[in-house]
Amino acid sequence: MEDLISRAIYHPLVVLPTFYLTDLMCNVDYSLVGALLVLAFALTFRLARLSSRWYRRNRRESGN
C-alpha cells in the first residue's frame, strides 16, 4: 500500500495541479477559498472566450 501511495503522490497528474494550486494560494491570500474563486473565474472567462470564438466561426461559416 505504501508503494502505491508513493507512486500516486509523485504522479504528474497529481503533482502539477498541486503545485499550481499551492502557487495560486500563495499569490492570493493563503486561503483555499480565494484560490478556488480565482480558478472558477478563470474557468468562466476561458469558457466564455471559447464559446465566443465558436459562435463567430459558426456564424461566418453559415454566411450570416
- Structure confidence at residue 3 (pLDDT): 79
Contacts of 24 (CB under 8 A, 6+ apart): 35, 38, 39
Cell of 59: 456564424
SS3 10: coil
- Structure confidence at residue 28 (pLDDT): 76
d(CA 31, CA 48): 26
d(CA 30, CA 27): 7
- Structure confidence at residue 47 (pLDDT): 93
- Structure confidence at residue 63 (pLDDT): 67
The model's pTM is 0.54
Residues of the chain with pLDDT under 70: 63-64
- Structure confidence at residue 64 (pLDDT): 58
- Structure confidence at residue 44 (pLDDT): 94
